[in-house]
Structure 1
Amino acid sequence: MHGENALEKTNRINVLFDFYGPLLTEKQQTFLKCYYHDDYSLGEIAEDFEISRQAVYEHLKRSEQILEDYEHKLGLAARHERLQEGLAQLDRLIGELPAPWRESLRGTVETLRGAEAGTPPEGAARA
């Protein structure tokens, strides 16, 4: 991988991993973490796991394809991105409103952000 394309691919795999990583096997998770999070080379991973570079490459490619398949079927990463763009636009529009209206609307935006992140709104009882 070279330059900007490598960075885009790394960012994409990391986003997909955030959404679908728990659905992968432990070995798939480990190889992806080593390569994309910890920036290990194929050779370093191969040495650590006592397998060939080709085997590492094939594990990574298969894991990447599984992540892409999950995204194709479920679309969680794309949905998250659309939601974040909508919330950012809403924030900008709220900033243009008269001051008295801003606070409650910003609170609503934060509630939506928290729902997306899986955190309960302030004051909500935890189960």
Structure 2
Amino acid sequence: MDSIMDEKLKEKVELSILFDFYGELLKSHNKHIFEDYILNDLSLSEIAQEQGISRQGVYDIVKRCSKQLRECEEKLCLVKKFERTRKMVSRIKELSLQGKDSQNRVYFDEIIKLCENISRDL
């Protein structure tokens, strides 16, 4: 039971991140429904009642939007690039703190390499 809940939560988190990156590409009506379901945590029934459509209609829109957002990520990889950059920036911070009082050139060589990788990815 817990693993099912964990999977549902993981999916909602994944979809909310994809929505942050690609949500503006959705049709306005679909975007609003998807946002209510994923971000505002409304049920399919609540959204259906609010929108004046069937629960199945809401379900279909959510599934279609989820597919669209995943396809955008497959093609553009913006989330993947963002996560990679975030990790490199975190490593730069860590190296900077470690090397701050050190004369060890290794810290700075790695920082320079990470900065070059970030610049290349942008």
Aligned to 1:26: 28
Unmatched runs of 5 consecutive residues or more in structure 1: 117-127
Give the distance between the partners of 1:37 and 1:24, measured in 2 at CA: 15
Residue-pair matches, total: 105
Q: Which amino acid aligns with 2:35?
A: K
Q: Calculate percent identity across the aligned residue pairs.
A: 31
Residue in 2 that maps onto 1:81: 83
3-state SS of 1:21 partner: helix
Alignment of structure 1 residues 82-97 onto 2, 5 Å = 82-97=84-99
Once residues 14 and 98 of structure 1 are traced to their aligned partners in structure 2, the CA distance between those partners, rounded to angstroms, is 38
RMSD: 2.2
Dislocated runs of 4+, deviation >2 Å:
98-101
TM-score (norm 2): 0.78
- Paired amino acid for 1:93: L
Unaligned 5+ runs, structure 2: 104-110
41, 44, 62: which one pairs with 1:42?
44
